[in-house]
Amino acid sequence: MSDDARRLHPVDVVIVGGGWAGSIMAKEMTEAGRSVVMLERGPDRSTAADGAYPASIDELEGNFRYKLFQDLSKNTVTIRNNSHQTALPYRRMAAFLPGEGVGGAGLHWSGVHFRMPPDDLRLRTRVIEKYGAKFIPEGMNLQDYGVSYEELEPFFDKAEKVFGTSGEAYMVKGQVVGKGNVFSPSRSDHFPLPALKDVYTAHLFRKAAEEVGFHPYSLPAANASRQYINPYGAQMGPCNFCGYCSGYACYMYSKASPNVNILPVLRRHPLFELRANCHVLKVELDADGRRATGVTYTDSDGKVVTQPAEMVILTAFQFHNVRLMLLSGIGRPYDPVHNEGVVGRNFVYQNVTTSNVWLDRSIDTNQYVGAGGGGVAFDDFNSENFDHGPLGFVGGSPVWVNQAGVKAIAAAHSGGPPGTPRWGSAWKAGVIDTYRHSLRIDAHGANMAYRDVYLDLDPTWKDAYGQPLLRMTFDWKDNDIRMNRYVVDKIGDVAKAMGARRVNLTKREFGRPFDTRQYQTTHLGGGAVMGTDPGTSALNRYLQSWDVHNVFVIGANAFPQGTGYNPTGMVAALAYWAAHHIRTTYLSHPGPLAG
Amino acid sequence: MLAGAMLAVMVCGLAARAQGQAQGDVIARGEYVARAADCAACHTVPGEAPFAGGMAFHLPTGTLYAPNITPDRQTGIGQYSEAEFSRALRRGIRRDGATLYPAMPYPSYARLTDEDVHVLYVYFMHGVKPVAHAVAQDGMSWPMSMRWPLSIWRTLYAPDPKAVRHDMDRRTFADPLVARGSYLVEGPGHCGACHTPRALTMQEKALTAEDGPLYLSGGDAVDGWRPVSLRGENRTGLGRWNEHDIVRFLATGRMPLGAAFGGMTDAIGHGTQHMTDEDRLAIARYLKTLSPAAPAVARGWTYDPAMTDALHAGDVSARGARAYVDSCAACHRTDGHGYPTTFPPLAGNPVVMDPKPDSLIRIVLEGNTLRATRQAPSAFVMPGFAARMDDHAVADTVTFIRAAWGNDAPAVTAADVARIRRTLSPEHPPVSVPMN
């Protein structure tokens, strides 16, 4: 297709995907004096158009008709639980919600903004140190990232300052400074904004968790607790807890997004060009496949064009990055039978279950208010913060009340407590009781990588452009189910301390397969992971393709296994980390940065 | 010999380059004056070639079109000599001798120094790209279509530059910054064109601070916006703004006590955001010398928490309180403080307490965009409520805002709202939506 494609004027850098990673890389590359074209397959978006109050706070449009999300009629994935099944296309949004349009997932996200725990970055090494190599179950591809917390710290810090993140630090420069997460590592600086106030349910949860002996802290939130001007000069309004975060463009300009926090500055830069409604088909490689020469895409008029560039940076959503590598022949595709190849390997998800707690009817839980990133969590059972030895599983899970604003349709959908009829006056009574007096507590667990869980190109199904869909082969494994069940029991302890009238603990069940019909989380990861061994990673520790040195791939695709935390903070830090090494080394000496 | 010739060539080259540089400097200074004088506000149509004219002014008597002032010889001002340029600028007389409509602020430009007129001329002749663009003929209805009565108007009301010069030389200022500020505000800035009331015969009732307290005491509606007083009134002027507030406002359109709207958005966008901090400070210091126009109010504005307390107690019985809580409080808050520099406060805001509610009503109806500037790259958009609120609801809301938190402006009627609603442009919302 590229032979007869129209060739455009070459640029220094072409960036595929207009979300956080793309916007950060574009900002960094223009600061380095490079001309940048950023391609986004969806439409351009702005607060004025997509977040205009009050039309923007329309639950039907936002959370049920998926305004800001991917158009599955053009492109989707196929899914199966194991390699003996035939995968079928994911035609209706449910389990996960990939975004589309300028801002990407960074426009529709909630705002929970974490740093990766140091132990998670070297999980394989840590598990072997603590429990021995035999502790790792057969078939689990446990790996290190190849980059340490200390190396990433300046970039976590930078991302928080750009995002205007609200939170309370525990330790700054080795000194205990506040009531932050006692398990979190030392920071070079405080959060740029103080923590959001606790909503009432979070307040009750904090008190109860303390009583039980856990260590609650305020979730770090990229929902500004007060008005803020970031280092780029971009300005945010303050969060008013309206609850329209996840799935919406924030009308208060208070949820960090590429659109609010980076693009206002980038759009004014003479070296930057954004092209919306441009769907990238493949990265073009030179004859021996060692160097990218640009990308081919269909533009907003449906014409196929080629954009030549010196560098290609893939910053699309996790699985689109993996698919583009597979479609372009960058890196060796994963072969699960022979356990060889790397692109598609270590595909991971997140192990989230939500439990419900009903309080006394004299207590109104005000679930309609909330901030997407706000709430209270404890990390006593996350990462390597507890002894896994006697428990026999790898991984952990933070536990939290992250009341992000329960809206009317969602409340009606979830109905009353288990056993409540789905219609009639009993249903009504159940819905009212649940909406007014209950709260939700999440176990937001990690998901490990396994040899037989992976991504590849579907042999049957194609997208609207005639290219094969990506195929997901995914199921839950006993290790992860054991972890979930252990942590959810702790929720029961906290609920008891809250004086719960009724508790519904939701646990993963052994033998119950991954169910695509239930929303779980959009935190997909892996598939083109970073590392120090080209035999087990598609990218080196600078997120550079081992095989095609002028291709960098930024996203949660780089995570070797799932984490208990939300991925955005890590993705942003990895973008700044990669950009730093591109700027300080690669631009003057193009070539492999590791190897 | 050859070496000598080469040296000569080089010296000539250097001289030519130095000359080019000198002209470059003059052009840059001219561009600065053009920004200070906000020529683009009228002569550049947004999105089109700079200074190519065509901006329409819809007046009750017809439509005026700003001329092309690029150096194009046929359709622009390419044939103007510097003297002709100066005469047009300072006296309002076109090259062909006809009088310009006083939409061109020559009563203020009369104060431009020779130096500034010169650099402006060089800028417009050599720094602006000539664009062949014939603007539409003015559509003024008779008798305003006749230019000769304008000459009489000009003779009566436009000051003679020579007299102005004499006047300027006579005035003394203890603080050179105030002197600079007076020049910028009364001269190129032509702030009075909007912010000073006009007589029935349309001339500004005062052209300088020396003409008395009507100067900059708040203008009549311009394009449906009501320019506020820039004098020291406590409630309705700049009495509670300090120098730093004004400097920040002129640079970014936002400061803790208020945000730019209406015509001021363009004045900042084309003009003051590009000025030096020193000139912005000069303007601020000068404005702070202007005493209140009206006799001092009995009581300066102080915050009154009564309404906030009522709202926090769930009492929305006050007229407009419910509509305010539903539609405004998310950003401007139930305490009326807003979130300074992001969403402006309504408590104590001079625009809110203006005796005439026109601007406030219009903002509620059609919303407003706080545009990005060089120092503040984020734009903020308030949505319009015209489609959601009828005239009564808007009147209730505006009345509430004007009376809460210590504000003391009179109530607004549905008829007031209907009058403003009729003037709204059907083109709204504007085509250029800020992308953040």
Predicted local distance difference test score (pLDDT) of residue B58? 74
Model confidence pLDDT, tens digit, residues A269-310: 999 999 999 999 999 999 999 999 999 999 999 999 999 999
A52 touches chain B (CB under 8 A): yes
* Inter-chain residue contact A267 with B342, CB threshold 8 Å: no
CATH class of this structure's domain B26-133+149-158 = mainly alpha
Q: Which of A113, A320, A388, A523 is catalytic?
A: A523
Asked if residues A282 and A324 have their Cβ atoms less than 8 Å apart, the reply is: yes
Predicted local distance difference test score (pLDDT) of residue B5? 59
Predicted local distance difference test score (pLDDT) of residue B2? 56
Q: Within a domain: residue A592?
A: no
| Integer Cα distance of B251 and A14 in angstroms | 35
Q: Give the CATH number of domain B306-423; options: 3.40.50.10320, 1.10.760.10, 3.40.640.10, 3.10.20.880.
A: 1.10.760.10
Option in B381, B388, B436 nearest A264 (CB):
B436
Q: Within a domain: residue A591?
A: no
User: What is residue A178's three-state secondary structure?
Assistant: coil
Span B9-35, average pLDDT: 81
Residue of chain A whose Cα is closest to the Cα of B380: A48
Q: Decide which of B426 and A152 is more confident.
A: A152
**The tokens 């730019």 sit on which residue?**
B260
Q: Which residues of B392-428 are buried (b: 16+ CB within 10 A; e: fewer)?
A: ebbbbbbbbbbbbbbbebeebeeebbeebbeeeeeee
How many Å lie between the alpha carbon of B369 and the closest alpha carbon of chain A? 9
Q: Within a domain: residue A558?
A: yes
Option in A53, A237, A263 nearest B339 (CB):
A237
A510 touches chain B (CB under 8 A): no
Q: Is the pTM of this model over 0.80?
A: yes
Residue B163 CB partners (closer than 8 Å, separation 6+) = none
How many Å lie between the alpha carbon of B338 and the closest alpha carbon of chain A? 10
| Integer Cα distance of A378 and A490 in angstroms | 11
pLDDT-based confidence at residue B154 (cuts at 50, 70, 90): confident
Every domain of chain B and the residues it spans: 26-133+149-158, 171-301, 306-423
Model confidence pLDDT, tens digit, residues A370-410: 999 999 999 999 999 999 999 999 999 999 999 999 999 99
| Integer Cα distance of B89 and B92 in angstroms | 6
A52 neighbourhood in chain B, CB within 8 Å? 381, 383
Predicted local distance difference test score (pLDDT) of residue A2? 45
* Inter-chain residue contact B436 with A253, CB threshold 8 Å: yes
B432 touches chain A (CB under 8 A): no
* Inter-chain residue contact A47 with B340, CB threshold 8 Å: no
How many Å lie between the alpha carbon of B372 and the closest alpha carbon of chain A? 8
How many Å lie between the alpha carbon of B341 and the closest alpha carbon of chain A? 8
| Total Cβ atoms within 10 A of residue A117 | 23
For chain A, list residues with pLDDT below 50: 1-2
Provide, rounded to the nearest whole percent, the portion of chain B with pLDDT above 90: 74
* Inter-chain residue contact A264 with B380, CB threshold 8 Å: no
Residue of chain B whose Cα is closest to the Cα of A232: B377
A264 touches chain B (CB under 8 A): yes
Query: Would you give the distance in Å from CA B137 to the centre of its chain?
Result: 25
Best residue of B378, B380, B381, B388 to probe chain A, by most A CBs closer than 10 Å: B378
Q: Is residue B353 scored above 80 in pLDDT?
A: yes
Q: Within a domain: residue A1?
A: no
Q: Is residue B237 packed enough to be buried (19+ CB in 10 Å), middle (13-18) or exposed (0-12)?
A: buried
Option in B339, B383, B436 nearest A53 (CB):
B383
Instruction: Let me know if A444 is a catalytic residue.
Output: no
Predicted local distance difference test score (pLDDT) of residue B16? 67
Best residue of A239, A240, A253, A265 to probe chain B, by most B CBs closer than 10 Å: A253
**Strand A235-236 with A438-445, pairing:** unpaired
Give the CATH number for residue A116.
3.50.50.60
Interface A-B, measured as beta-carbon pairs within 8 A, has a size of 78
Q: Within a domain: residue A593?
A: no
B430 touches chain A (CB under 8 A): no
* Inter-chain residue contact B339 with A242, CB threshold 8 Å: no
| Integer Cα distance of B426 and B420 in angstroms | 13
Domain containing A287: what range?
A: 6-586
How many Å lie between the alpha carbon of A244 and the closest alpha carbon of chain B? 12
pLDDT-based confidence at residue B8 (cuts at 50, 70, 90): low
Q: What is the pLDDT of chain A when averaged over all its residues?
A: 97
Predicted local distance difference test score (pLDDT) of residue B143? 67
Residue of chain A whose Cα is closest to the Cα of B375: A233
* Inter-chain residue contact B380 with A237, CB threshold 8 Å: yes
Span B378-405, average pLDDT: 96
| Whole-angstrom Cα Rg for chain A | 23
Check residue B423 and give left, alpha or beta (phi > 0: left; psi -120 to 50: alpha): alpha
CA angle B355, B358, B363 (to 5 degrees): 125
User: Within a 13 Å sphere around the CA of A589, how many CA atoms are in the beta-carbon half?
Assistant: 6
Q: Residues 200-239, chain A: which have Cβ within 8 Å of B? A: 226-227, 232-238
Lateral strand order in the sheet of A376-378: A216-218, A376-378, A399-401, A438-445, A351-358, A502-504
Q: How many domains does chain A have?
A: 1
| Whole-angstrom Cα Rg for chain B | 24
Predicted local distance difference test score (pLDDT) of residue B180? 97
Query: Can you tell me the ipTM of this complex?
Result: 0.88
| Integer Cα distance of A472 and A454 in angstroms | 6
B276 touches chain A (CB under 8 A): no
* Inter-chain residue contact B388 with A240, CB threshold 8 Å: no
Amino acid at B66: A
Nearest Cα to Cα of residue A363 among A200, A245, A212: A200
A269 touches chain B (CB under 8 A): no
CA angle B324, B325, B330 (to 5 degrees): 105
B252 touches chain A (CB under 8 A): no
**Strand A36-39 with A272-275, pairing:** parallel
